[in-house]
Each structure stands twice: as structure tokens, then as C-alpha cells.
Amino acid sequence: MLFDLAALDAQNAYKLLVSTIVPRPIAWITTCDVDGTLNAAPYSFFNAVSGHPPVVAIGIGGRAPGDAKDTGGNIRRTGQFVVNLVSDALAEKMNVTAIDFPKAVDELGQAGLSIAPSAKVRPPRIAESPVALECERLVIVDVGIDRSVVLGTVVAIHIQDDCVLDAARCYVDTPKLDLIGRMHGGGWYSRTTDRFELPRIPLDQWAMKE
């Protein structure tokens, strides 16, 4: 079946995208406003888009035209954010921080989470998260009346000590991070426990098979 996006309203186009592009990693973003007020919220329009330079992309909607979500407004005003990644054990707490609280409410406090200082940016990281990427705004691309894509340069990465296999070689125990992704609909997620290995095929090996 073909869906012509030009003929679909925004909600249906969104539904097709989020029910097919799965699983999506979750950027659990901490930011500070200019006065230092801390904010935290999850965003699954997220991925790494460049290794060198190290760049991540996040799609941030608005509540209504002209009413940016707090994360987007804070990144616009301060240029700094931390992407905390979500393990299976933290799923429910992450979900609490997505509640549409008034701006003054501390989402991390509501979820029973704590913070740890970042090394290179002002917003702290979520202490319980196994990975935190400290980021500086590279560019914000406005893609619609109330949507923007934030590209951020990763300037430092924290990884939980017992998930680092060899620090000198930057080997990480990825399965141990036990990260989750967002699936379809409003509340489906997936674990990263169902894995298989598929090594790349060198051209000469492929040619020998022919």
C-alpha cells in the first residue's frame, strides 16, 4: 500500500513514521535554562549522525506553534545539553520525566533520580544513566512551524565504569548497558537483548564465491 504524505494530515504522517522506524534510541536530555533551572525529558527522534566530528541529531516538537518544549528552548538559549541513554532498569523513571509538568517542576526529583556534574557543559547528567553524552549545539534547523532538528557536537562521554572493557582501546560492554529503544504507538519499547552477529563481507571474499 502506498501512502502519499502530501495527502495525509500531520498526525497520520507521524504515526506512519514512528510505527515503521523502530526501534529508536532514546535521548533522555538534561538542559539548564539561563537562570540554571534544570530540565529533563526523553526524545526518541534521535540518533548519532556522524562519527568524526561526533554529532548527534534530535527532533524536537512544540506544544503549539510558538510554544517550544522546554528542552528545545533551553538548547536554543544556552547551546548546551546532555544526552543520557536509557537502560531497561530506568524505563519507568524515564517515562515519569515525559509528563507535561509545568516548567518549574523538577522532573528528575519527581522520578526519584539524582544528578552528577558534567565535565565540559553546565547541565548535569543523570547519575543513574549508564551513558551520558555532553553536547554543544552545532546548529538548529527549523523544519516546520513548531518543529526543529538540533544537531549537537559530542564533547565528552561518561560510561558506567563496569561497562567499560578496555578504556585505552575504547572497548565498551554494549550488552551490559542494557539499553532500550522506543517502538510504535504511545507506549511500546524494545530491549536490546535479542542480538545476532553478521560480519561485513570483504569484496575479495565475495568475488571468490562467485
Contact residues toward ligand FMN (CB under 6 A) are 26, 39, 41-45, 59-61, 69-71, 95, 98, 100, 182
Phi, then psi, of 93 in degrees rounded to 5? -70, -40
- Total Cβ atoms within 10 A of residue 18: 18
Strand residues in the chain grouped as ranges (E): 24-25, 27-32, 38-43, 46-50, 55-60, 62-64, 67-68, 80-84, 115-116, 125-126, 131-144, 147-159, 164-166, 171-172, 180-182, 189-191
User: Rounded to 10 degrees, what is the CA torsion of 143, 125, 186, 6?
Assistant: 10
Residue type, 75: I
CB of 98 to ligand FMN, least distance (A): 4
C-beta of 103: minimal distance to ligand FMN in Å? 8
Query: Is the CB of 14 or the CB of 171 nearer to ligand FMN?
Result: 14
Q: How far is the CB of 68 from ligand FMN (least distance, A)?
A: 8
The residue (of 55 and 164) whose beta carbon lies closer to ligand FMN is 55
Decide whether 26 or 82 has the Cβ nearer to ligand FMN. Answer: 26
Using H for helix, E for strand and C for coil, what is the string for 51-75?
A: CCCCEEEEEECEEECCEECHHHHHH
The dihedrals phi and psi of 170, each to the nearest 5 degrees, come to 60, 40
Which of 45, 133 has the CB closer to ligand FMN? 45
Nearer to ligand FMN, 60 or 133 (CB): 60
Nearest distance in Å: CB 173, ligand FMN: 24
Shortest distance, position 122 Cβ to ligand FMN, whole Å: 17
Grid cell listed for 147? 518543529
Q: State in angstroms the smallest separation of the CB of 24 from ligand FMN.
A: 8
For ligand FMN, the closer of residues 111 and 177 by Cβ is 111
Helix or strand or coil: residue 208?
Answer: helix
